[in-house]
């Protein structure tokens, strides 16, 4: 008979030590209440286990079933999900870490749990809710977004993940004038890359969703009404020139059909670095005048998605100063990074602050690195070394990660 | 590469014409030289560049030879105000002082003034010697009148000139010529003087400020001093969202009713606070709570 341990239950009566191996011992039996998430619920005595029990890990790998008792613990993203759910969304350093450790572990933290609870309880017949993750640099906004995206995809939502909106407003080698709208510009490379990743994430939806409108691309090419969405996406990937317009068409179709009564699906729009959509770009037209973001087809269409005039899904966004243009490096509050225009477009939204690691979360991270043998330096295993790490990193997740990479 | 002569450095070695290949030459005037890579001075070896007349890349032919620096010919009793009559950047050929400035590289000394950009960058006061200032004053005298003899005490000055404007100048070492505290100017008015006149002035100003000019109606949102929530995009957004959420009819009555609700009032306060006071953690939290309550989360 299988039974799952919930380490969180006895986290209440244990203290953290600096050794990685912790054995549990309980004086009285604890009844594990039955839950609907598939944990085999038995009221039994949790006896002393001689094997090492990692207190920073949880066996609960389904984001839907995670709750406050799992706060601060790492759960493993099943390898099968990795490539489908996150072809392009994870921060680059985290991707390297996954390759090194051979597993993808994400810490369960308060902002993500809060978001997931909102998503569970929201009413999807009302206009879309917008959630904005904000916080200082390196505090874990992108990781919280990815956690939420994982939840959405395990629940069978259609996920529209834009890994970094700043990539669309800078460093674009090719800017084509749009065929659809005279004053706008297309970005074929970015659009086709995004479509490819979109296709990987949402394979199973592509054949189910049917187009509601006929789209004419050139004199000879058109996509008829009733064709599956997959055909449209394939066309966008292969015909790079019209890929930006294909992106616009895909977004429009999804907006119309999300939350619909027949074959309705829920749509999650996850945008990282959403402050890049308002503000300035570094792109220039041929006469060297700057391009405004609304003159880019991709940005124009994405802004329409972020409006709350559709229903049946949610918009989850993060602010990012790291890739942003013309924003001071100390800026992290929503209004500073979004600007007036951006704030007015996102209003009303629910801001979700992401803070630095708490004591418990820092412990967890430290133990995880020890467990993975990432901290090689002997001094880092001591109490002194831990205090040094706390001091140097100020409990900032990304700074801690970079520091530990040296050890 | 185009060839060029380096006659300037050669000349400063005491007018010896010779073709040197980067070697130190005897130096009768004990001046330091640069060990520079020189090349042969022949125009026939103009590699690769067709003759462009006198406009060649390094216009060798018509280039004037630089003469001696002025410092060689400066007597001790010269008129310095003729050398630096106005504020000009440092010219190493005009200043006869052996000034050195800059960071000394290993086992070295600060670089000399010749070709020294540091000396050129900083402001200098070479045009403000005491003699120069005296000359200025002498030149200004014909335009000045005598100080009125009746105003010999401070009290008399205050009585006749009650309004005083004080401005301050600063001299400090720093990264910038300008000192922000120098921008503050004090205007002092003593009240005991003409109370009635002062009251009259204030009344006039008060009434003037109430008059609306025609161009004031063109005031745009960007000109407003404070953020007002009515008719702002924020209000429009929240109204349309709430109306869609309600599902009950449209119309003015619904809008009025929605506006009257306490959650909407709270939301309005939080947005106004955010925009007027700027952002902070606490105002963000207030906004968050207001939105959550409003949208029934």
pLDDT band at A3 (very low <50, low <70, confident <90, very high): very low
Taking CB atoms and an 8 Å cut-off, how many pairs form between chains A and B? 55
pLDDT above 80: residue B52 = no
Is residue A266 included in any domain, yes or no?
yes
Residue A335 C-alpha, separation from nearest chain B C-alpha, in angstroms: 7
Report ipTM for this prediction: 0.75
Residues on chain A touching B278 (C-beta within 8 angstroms): 335
Residue with the larger pLDDT of the pair B192 and A183? A183
Question: What torsion, rounded to 10 degrees, do the Cα atoms A319, A321, A323, A328 define?
Answer: 150
Mean pLDDT confidence for A159-187: 85
The pLDDT score that the predictor gives to residue B39 is: 45
Residues on chain B touching A348 (C-beta within 8 angstroms): 234, 237-238, 241, 267, 291, 294-295
Show which of A337, A353, A369 is a domain's final residue.
Answer: A353
Residue with the larger pLDDT of the pair A89 and A50? A89
Contact state of A351 with B274 under an 8 Å Cβ cutoff = no
**Of A119, A340, A348, which to mutate for an interface test with B (greatest number of B Cβ within 10 Å)?**
A348
Mean pLDDT confidence for A295-302: 89
pLDDT above 50: residue A25 = no
The pLDDT score that the predictor gives to residue A125 is: 81
Lowest-pLDDT range, A111-120, A297-306, B202-211, B272-281?
B272-281
Residue pair B223/B273 in contact by the 8 Å Cβ criterion: no
pLDDT above 70: residue B79 = yes
Residue with the larger pLDDT of the pair B192 and A378? A378
All residues at 6 or more sequence positions from B55 whose CB lies less than 8 Å from its CB, including other chains:
none
What rounded mean pLDDT belongs to chain A? 80
**Of A126, A129, A135, which to mutate for an interface test with B (greatest number of B Cβ within 10 Å)?**
A126
Residues on chain A touching B223 (C-beta within 8 angstroms): none
Say whether residue B234 is in contact with chain A using an 8 A CB cutoff: yes
Most confidently predicted of A117-126, A235-244, B89-98, B187-196: B89-98
Residues 255-284 of chain B whose Cβ lies under 8 A from any Cβ of chain A:
267, 271, 274-275, 278-281, 284
The pLDDT score that the predictor gives to residue A174 is: 81
Residue pair A147/A91 in contact by the 8 Å Cβ criterion: no
Contact state of B292 with A308 under an 8 Å Cβ cutoff = no
Find the residue in A nearest to B291 (Cα). A350
What is this structure's pTM? 0.64
Contact state of B297 with A122 under an 8 Å Cβ cutoff = yes
Assess whether A338 and A237 both reside in one domain. yes
Assess whether A277 and A196 both reside in one domain. yes
**In terms of C-beta density within 10 A (0-12 exposed, 13-18 middle, 19 or more buried), how is residue A332 classed?**
buried
pLDDT above 50: residue B224 = yes
Residue with the larger pLDDT of the pair A228 and B230? A228
The pLDDT score that the predictor gives to residue B10 is: 40
pLDDT above 70: residue A45 = no
Most confidently predicted of A228-237, B15-24, B166-175: A228-237
CATH of the domain at A314: 3.40.50
pLDDT above 70: residue A69 = yes
Residue with the larger pLDDT of the pair A168 and A24? A168
pLDDT above 90: residue A292 = no
> What gap in Å lies between CA B238 and CA B228, rounded to an integer?
15
pLDDT above 90: residue B28 = no
pLDDT above 60: residue A320 = yes
pLDDT above 80: residue A388 = yes
Assess whether A220 and A364 both reside in one domain. no
Is residue A349 included in any domain, yes or no?
yes
A338-372: pLDDT as tens digits: 888 888 888 788 999 998 998 888 988 999 988 88
Residue in A127, A351, A353 nearest the CB of B244: A127
pLDDT above 70: residue A48 = no
Assess whether A337 and A387 both reside in one domain. no
Which two structure tokens, joined as six digits, stand for A380? 């880092």
pLDDT band at A17 (very low <50, low <70, confident <90, very high): very low
Using left for φ > 0, alpha for ψ between -120 and 50, and beta otherwise, residue A210 falls in: beta
Contact state of A351 with B279 under an 8 Å Cβ cutoff = no
Assess whether A156 and A134 both reside in one domain. yes
Cα Rg of chain A (Å, integer): 23
The pLDDT score that the predictor gives to residue B55 is: 59
**% of chain B with per-residue pLDDT over 90:** 14
Residues on chain A touching B233 (C-beta within 8 angstroms): 344-345, 347
Most confidently predicted of A258-262, A289-293, B40-44: A289-293
Contact state of A129 with B297 under an 8 Å Cβ cutoff = yes
> What gap in Å lies between CA A397 and CA A356, rounded to an integer?
7
The pLDDT score that the predictor gives to residue B90 is: 92
* Residue ranges of domains in chain B: 76-144, 154-171+179-209, 233-295
Domain count, chain A: 2
The pLDDT score that the predictor gives to residue B24 is: 45
Mean pLDDT confidence for A162-179: 85
Say whether residue B224 is in contact with chain A using an 8 A CB cutoff: no
| Secondary structure (3-state) at A215 | strand
The pLDDT score that the predictor gives to residue B154 is: 81
B130-182: pLDDT as tens digits: 999 999 999 999 999 888 888 788 888 877 787 888 888 887 777 777 777 88
> What gap in Å lies between CA B4 and CA B9, rounded to an integer?
13
Find the residue in B nearest to A336 (Cα). B279
Residue with the larger pLDDT of the pair A256 and B22? A256
Residues on chain A touching B292 (C-beta within 8 angstroms): 350
**% of chain A with per-residue pLDDT over 70:** 85
Note down the domain range covering A382.
359-405
Q: How far is CA B40 from CA A107, B3, B7, B254, in A?
A: 72, 7, 12, 93
Query: E strand or H helix at A259, and its extent?
Result: none
For residue A302, give the DSSP letter.
H
pLDDT above 50: residue A207 = yes
Mean pLDDT confidence for A171-189: 84
Assess whether A341 and A398 both reside in one domain. no
Assess whether A195 and A253 both reside in one domain. yes
A34-43: pLDDT as tens digits: 444 433 333 3
Residue in A344, A348, A353 nearest the CB of B295: A348
Residue with the larger pLDDT of the pair B255 and B263? B263
Give the phi and the psi of residue B164 in degrees, each rounded to 5: -120, 140
Residue B296 C-alpha, separation from nearest chain A C-alpha, in angstroms: 9
The pLDDT score that the predictor gives to residue B15 is: 44
The pLDDT score that the predictor gives to residue B126 is: 92
**% of chain B with per-residue pLDDT over 70:** 76
The pLDDT score that the predictor gives to residue B133 is: 94
Say whether residue B19 is in contact with chain A using an 8 A CB cutoff: no
**Neighbouring C-beta atoms of residue B80, cutoff 10 Å:** 15
Residue A240 C-alpha, separation from nearest chain B C-alpha, in angstroms: 36
Assess whether A136 and A240 both reside in one domain. yes
Residues on chain A touching B244 (C-beta within 8 angstroms): 126-127
The pLDDT score that the predictor gives to residue B89 is: 92
Residues on chain B touching A336 (C-beta within 8 angstroms): 279
Is residue A98 included in any domain, yes or no?
no
Residue A192 C-alpha, separation from nearest chain B C-alpha, in angstroms: 33
Query: Long-range contacts for B143-147 (Cβ within 8 Å, ≥24 apart)?
Result: none
């Amino acid at each position: 008979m299988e039974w799952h341990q919930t380490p969180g239950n006895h986290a209440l009566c244990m203290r953290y030590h600096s050794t990685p191996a912790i054995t549990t011992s309980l004086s009285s039996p604890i009844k594990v209440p039955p839950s609907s998430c598939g944990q085999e619920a038995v009221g039994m005595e949790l006896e002393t286990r001689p094997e090492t029990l990692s207190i920073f890990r949880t066996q609960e790998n389904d984001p839907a079933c995670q709750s406050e008792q799992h706060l601060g613990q790492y759960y493993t993203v099943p390898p099968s999900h990795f490539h489908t759910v996150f072809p392009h969304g994870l921060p680059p350093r985290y991707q390297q870490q996954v390759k090194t450790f051979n597993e993808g572990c994400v810490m369960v933290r308060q902002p993500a749990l809060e978001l997931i609870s909102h998503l569970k309880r929201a009413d999807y017949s009302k206009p879309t809710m917008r959630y904005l993750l904000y916080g200082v640099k390196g505090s874990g906004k992108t990781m919280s977004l990815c956690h939420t995206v994982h939840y959405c995809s395990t629940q069978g939502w259609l996920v529209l993940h834009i890994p970094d909106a700043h990539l669309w407003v800078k460093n674009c080698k090719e800017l084509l004038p749009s065929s659809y709208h005279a004053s706008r510009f297309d970005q074929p490379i970015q659009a086709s890359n995004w479509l490819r990743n979109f296709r990987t994430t949402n394979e199973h939806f592509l054949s189910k969703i049917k187009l509601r409108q006929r789209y004419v691309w050139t004199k000879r090419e058109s996509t008829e009404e009733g064709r599956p969405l997959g055909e449209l996406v394939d066309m966008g990937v292969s015909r790079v020139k019209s890929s930006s317009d294909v992106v616009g068409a895909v977004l429009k179709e999804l907006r119309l059909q999300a939350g619909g009564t027949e074959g309705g699906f829920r749509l999650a729009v996850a945008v990282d670095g959403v402050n890049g959509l308002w503000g300035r770009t570094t792109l220039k037209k041929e006469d060297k005048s700057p391009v405004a973001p609304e003159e880019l087809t991709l940005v124009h269409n994405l802004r329409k998605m972020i409006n709350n005039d559709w229903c049946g899904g949610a918009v989850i966004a993060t602010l990012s100063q790291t890739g942003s243009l013309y924003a001071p490096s100390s800026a992290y509050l929503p209004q500073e990074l979004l600007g007036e225009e951006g704030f007015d477009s996102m209003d009303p939204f629910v801001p979700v602050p992401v803070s630095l690691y708490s004591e418990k979360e820092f412990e967890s991270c430290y133990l995880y690195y020890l467990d993975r043998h990432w901290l090689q330096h002997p001094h880092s295993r001591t109490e002194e070394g831990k205090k040094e790490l706390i001091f140097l990193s100020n409990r900032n997740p990304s700074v801690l990660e970079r520091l530990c990479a040296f050890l | 590469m185009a060839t060029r002569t380096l006659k300037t450095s050669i000349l400063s070695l005491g007018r010896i014409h010779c073709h040197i290949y980067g070697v130190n030459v005897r130096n009768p005037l004990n001046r330091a030289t640069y060990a520079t890579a020189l090349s042969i001075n022949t125009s026939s070896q103009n590699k690769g560049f067709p003759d462009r007349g006198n406009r060649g890349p390094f216009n060798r032919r018509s280039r004037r030879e630089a003469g001696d620096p002025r410092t060689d010919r400066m007597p001790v009793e010269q008129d310095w105000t003729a050398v630096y009559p106005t504020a000009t950047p440092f010219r190493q050929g005009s200043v006869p002082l052996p000034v050195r400035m800059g960071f000394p590289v290993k086992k070295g000394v600060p670089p000399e003034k010749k070709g020294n950009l540091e000396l050129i960058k900083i402001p200098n006061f070479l045009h403000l010697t005491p003699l120069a200032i005296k000359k200025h004053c002498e030149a200004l005298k014909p335009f000045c009148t005598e100080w009125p003899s009746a105003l010999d005490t401070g009290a008399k000055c205050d009585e006749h000139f009650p309004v005083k404007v004080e401005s301050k100048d600063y001299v400090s070492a720093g990264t910038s010529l300008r000192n922000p505290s120098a921008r503050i100017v004090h205007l002092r008015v003593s009240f005991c003087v003409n109370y009635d006149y002062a009251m009259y002035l204030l009344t006039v100003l008060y009434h003037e400020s109430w008059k609306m000019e025609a161009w004031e109606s063109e005031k745009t949102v960007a000109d407003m001093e404070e953020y007002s929530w009515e008719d702002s995009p924020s209000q429009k957004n929240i109204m349309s969202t709430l109306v869609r959420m309600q599902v009950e009819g449209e119309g003015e009555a619904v809008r009025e009713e929605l506006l009257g609700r306490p959650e909407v009032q709270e939301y309005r306060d939080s947005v106004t606070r955010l925009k007027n006071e700027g952002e902070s953690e606490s105002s963000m939290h207030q906004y968050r709570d207001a939105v959550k309550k409003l949208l029934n989360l």
